[in-house]
Structure 1
Amino acid sequence: MMGLARLIGIGFIVLSVIYISLSFYSRSIRRKKLEQEWNEADMTGDKDSFVEQGLKSYDSSLRRKLILGVYVIPVVIIGTIIYVVNH
């Protein structure tokens, strides 16, 4: 039982680090694309507000929610493996 608690604890920490890293990486890529879009389109106005507005729409996008799969997929795989081995 202690081994399972250790697996859950360490797994949660590792998956959290991966989730945070992916979130920062994905957000930085989106920011870079918005800045590149601004520069290529030769827009007028405030570049920072354009980027911030784009990042607000990114925060509510499906891509942002799909990153939560970092938690779901490994748990399902480990649960399946444990079920198959024991039955």
Structure 2
Amino acid sequence: MIGWLRLAFFMYVGLTIIYFVTSIYSRSVRREKLEKEWDTDPAREGQTVEERSAFIEAGMVHYDKGLKKRLLWLIYILPTIGFVATIYFVNWR
């Protein structure tokens, strides 16, 4: 029993590291996409840096409330389901 708990602890430590790295990468990709969208739109030529920053921050707020951000929780959910299913089938089947 203690072995399973130790394995679960280290699994969650690893999953936390993976979650944070993936989250940082996903945010940087989204920010870069917003920056490119601003730079390639000819209607936005001549606008100030503050307007560009406001556009990017508004896009990041929208990203934080969106589905892609929530799907990152699957990094925890799917391995947990697999871990519990493995324990069940090994011990009680």
Category of TM-score, reference length = shorter chain = over 0.9
* Matched-pair identity in %: 37
Determine the structure 2 residue equivalent to 1:32. Answer: 32
Shift of residue 85 of structure 1? 2.1
Larger Rg: 2
Tell me the matched-pair count: 87
Structure 1 stretches of 4+ moved >4 Å: none
**TM-score, reference length from structure 1:** 0.93
Determine the structure 2 residue equivalent to 1:68. Answer: 73
Within 2, Cα distance between the matches of 1:5 and 1:20? 23
RMSD of aligned alpha carbons: 1.1
Deviations 1:4-40 (A, max 9, x none): 2211211110000000011000000000000000001
The unaligned stretches of length 5 or more in structure 1 are none
**TM-score, reference length from structure 2:** 0.87
Shift of residue 79 of structure 1? 1.3
